[in-house]
Structure 1
Amino acid sequence: MKRSWIWKGMLICSLIWLPGCGFKDIDRRFFVMAIGIDKSEHAAKPYRVSLKLAIPFSKIQPGQTNDFQLISDDAGSIAEAVRHMKSKVDKELDFSQAKIIVIGKPMSAEILRKGTLDWFLRRRDIQGSAFMALGDPTAEDILNVKTSSERFPGDSLFLSFDQDGTESSYILTEYLYDFHRRATEKGIDPYLPVIRPRDNGFLIDRVAVFDKKELKAVLSPGESRVFNELTKHFQKFDLETKNDAVQFAINVHKATYRYRIDASKPAMPKLTMNIRMIGQSEESTESLYKKPWSYYERLAEQQAQARYTKLLEKMQSLEVDPVGFGLYYRATRNRRDQDWTSWQAIYPNLSFQTNVKIVIKSSGGVK
């Protein structure tokens, strides 16, 4: 009995040294909605970090947008810049609502270096599902844009990438956790959607592809659409087809593909991709009842096949593999490091054969 009282007394005494509650009310917090990383003009302070802060209002009137505050700082590291920015505001910086990280285009080579992403990955209040994007010309320019449709700061970008708002075949979504995986995993390379400011708004219709060290190329809008179909299996897109006699568009609502890699002949490795699409006619310069639908399906298949093959060959010439063919090759074999060495020798010599099958289910509302 005496011993139990001793333990109870020690427990009560230990409670005296526990710290008090560190909670801060919402009116004493600045919620960071977006983070921008640029390359500064100072060699000793290479990082320029920008934070888009939401200014809370008790009530939002119809047609009214929330205001924001943008603060920036140059420092030798991201952590140092954030700590110094705390001296520029009168409230605590809260990163729990930060949903997008924008990397300035001049900073694109640095983002893949060891340690640059480290701060985002180690912070417990930075979401792994935060969106990643490349800002052109700079991340600060992107964060400084205020659109008239925003209900709160950064809302237009969030709706663009999470597809709760617009659904566009030009817009690719990339997350922090996936970008880090692609930057470190053998057999698959990273990419980022490119955001450009346009007349109090944004234009997101391009994608930047990287190897493990640097930015390799920025794809055109047409290439970005095909890239989206291959990497994200995007389902809602239109397929434009034209020749000297007819021009028409097919609204594709279902698309699937499978591929296999044949390396049985080391001197002539081959990747065969079979693609199947189902859709309906959306636009045409002539009635689709003049000829059998199989005629229009063959035309669309030939041009779609050329687009896919052209993009795959471009990725090969850039020495990048964002689709993850190398990862698939490693996963279907069991020699580990030998498989990776083998794939590095196979990929530059790989030939691509794309077989496209298109089924037109309807001519649309026109009879």
Structure 2
Amino acid sequence: MKNGAKVLLGLWMLSIAALPGCGFKDIDRRFFVMAIGIDGSGIEDKPFRVSLKLAIPFPKIQPGQTNAYRLVSDDASTITEAVRHIKSKVDKELDFSQSKMIVVGKAISGKILEKDMLDWFLRRRDIQSCSYMALGDPSAEAVLNVKTSSERFPGDSLFLSFDRDGTESSYIATESLFDFHRRVREKGIDPYLPLIRTIDDSAFLIDQVAVFDKERMKAILTSEETRIFNELVARIQSFDIETKTEQVQFALSVHRFRYAYDIRDAPPAINLKGRIVAQAEESTEAFYTRPWTYYEQLAERQAETRYARLLQKLQRLNVDPVGFGLRYRATRYGKEKDWKAWQALYPKVAFHPKVSIDIKSSGGIK
């Protein structure tokens, strides 16, 4: 009996020894893909140029020293083919688990709305759905090739710009992969992407946003329009309001902002009511020379004008990134019938923004 048990134990140990090892590869045998860029190649049978920003592992992270990277590009008919061919250009396995940035070249902005391209990012289990998306000008490859001296690792400057762990700017619009996909597919709300422009090899600028319908890019908003866009779409809580008249010019720093709206069918109108709590940050005259209500009313009128102008511009472009159409569908029960009614109603809608501003402090000492 004992001899039989020993024989079985020996056979079991031999079978374990014959099993192959696990497929996990050590960190020094992997390239971490930090960002993905998609451009047009200009080649008919290979329309896509895919660029991967690969981080080179270091034992210790130091700003400006451990942000070494390798940018590898390839032209192919599909993104899948390009990635597989890039593997033949590197000596380590590609790991997409750390990738948090997807940049699409401005020249092929309409391609990102196509199902095949977007599905590649959504189907891969190792690409995060919370990855940030943006347009690159002049190209995605040029944006990924920017190397800032403050980066702790490759792509860190882009991550900090969009996730608001670093800079908090009212000019930077943030869009993630899952939300962009929702906007592309959902009726009543349209997609948008921030625009990254390269200044030189060590700096970039993010202060504009591109708006889309379901088929193509319709326009790129100015930096001032982008700031107002963020207030309405992202509902940011920290921004500035500049007011200028012939008598006085002043700026308010906003600490709290909220708004609500209702949609009227007859006559077609959207009544938007907003409330802002702010503090005076800069002024050409002391705030104690007049009642504060005077400055509040000036700022309110100009804020209402700015909101109305942007909403009217989006209406002329026939895009709806705010999601008025989605609200209209959600509050009615006709399904497809209500969607067709909204498509006829939106071009005729009159916008009536009403803003209430409460100045809590003059920002100075009397």
TMscore range, shorter length: over 0.9
Query: AA paired with 1:256?
Result: R
> How big is the shift at 1:99?
0.4
Corresponding residue for 1:108?
109
CA contact (8 A) 2:34 2:55 kept: yes
Deviations 1:219-255 (A, max 9, x none): 0000000000001100100000010000000000100
SS at match of 1:364: coil
Match of 1:24 in 2: 25
TM-score between both structures, scaled by the size of structure 2: 0.94
Deviation at residue 113 of structure 1 after TM alignment:
1.3
Residue 229 of structure 1, aligned match among 213, 217, 231: 231
Correspondence for 1:75: 76
Alignment of 1:277-288 (within 5 A): 277-288=276-287
Which residue pairs with 2:357 in the alignment? Answer: 358
- Measure the CA separation in 2 of the matches of 1:259 and 1:18: 65
Matching residue of 1:272:
271
Is the Cα–Cα contact under 8 Å of residues 57 and 66 in structure 1 kept in the other structure?
A: no
Q: Distance in 1 between matches of 2:15 and 2:322?
A: 56
Question: How does 1:270-309 map onto structure 2 within 5 Å?
Answer: 270-309=269-308
1:94 aligns with 2:95: yes
CA contact (8 A) 1:300 1:358 kept: yes
Q: Report deviation, 1:96.
A: 0.2
Note the C-alpha offset of 1:41: 1.1
Secondary structure of the residue that 1:320 maps to in structure 2? coil
After alignment, is 111-120 or 84-93 more displaced? 111-120
Native 8 Å contact 1:65 1:148 kept in 2: no
Alignment of 1:58-207 (within 5 A): 58-61=59-62, 64-199=65-200, 200-207=202-209
Taking the TM superposition and a 5 Å limit, the aligned residue runs for 1:253-268 are: 253-263=255-265, 265=266, 268=267
Partners of 2:76 and 2:19 in 1: how far apart?
A: 35
**Do the aligned residues in 2 keep the contact of 1:209 with 1:217 (CA within 8 Å)?**
yes
Q: Deviations over 1:268-311 (max 9, x none)?
A: 31100001100100000001111100000000000000000000
Is the 2:37–2:102 Cα contact (8 Å) retained in structure 1?
A: yes
The residue number in structure 1 matching 2:221 is 219
Q: CA deviation at 1:60?
A: 3.3
Amino acid in structure 2 at the alignment position of 1:129:
C
**Residue 171 of structure 1 contacts residue 205 of structure 1 at CA under 8 Å; is this kept in 2?**
yes
* Corresponding position of 2:245: 243
Could you tell me which amino acid in structure 1 is paired with residue 262 of structure 2?
R
C-alpha displacement of 1:114: 1.9
Question: Does the 8 A contact of 2:63 with 2:151 survive in 1?
Answer: no
**8 Å CA contact retained: 1:65, 1:149:** no
The share of aligned pairs that are identical, in percent, is 66
- Distance, in Å, in 1 between the alignment partners of 2:261 and 2:363 is 31
| Cα separation, 2, equivalents of 1:185 and 1:37 | 24
Q: Secondary structure of the equivalent of 1:116?
A: helix
CA RMSD of the aligned region, Å? Answer: 1.8
Q: Can you give the 5+ residue segments of structure 2 that lack an aligned partner in the other structure?
A: 1-7
Aligned residues: 355
CA distance in 1, matches of 2:75, 2:167: 35
Return the letter of the residue paired with 2:48. Y
Q: Distance in 2 between matches of 1:37 and 1:366?
A: 54
CA distances 1:196-235 after superposition (whole Å, capped 9, x unpaired): 1113111000000000000000000000000000011001
2:52 alignment partner, SS class: strand
- Aligned letter for 2:287? L
Give 3-state SS (helix, strand or coil) of 1:345's partner: helix
Q: TM-score, normalised by structure 1?
A: 0.94
Q: Alignment partner for residue 254 of structure 2, among 232, 252, 255?
A: 252
How far apart are residue 366 of structure 1 and its match?
Answer: 3.5
Secondary structure of residue in 2 paired with 1:165: coil
Deviations 1:161-216 (A, max 9, x none): 00000000000110000000000100000000000111311100000000000000
The 5-angstrom pairing of residues 305-320 of structure 1 reads 305-320=304-319
Name the structure 2 match of 1:39: 40
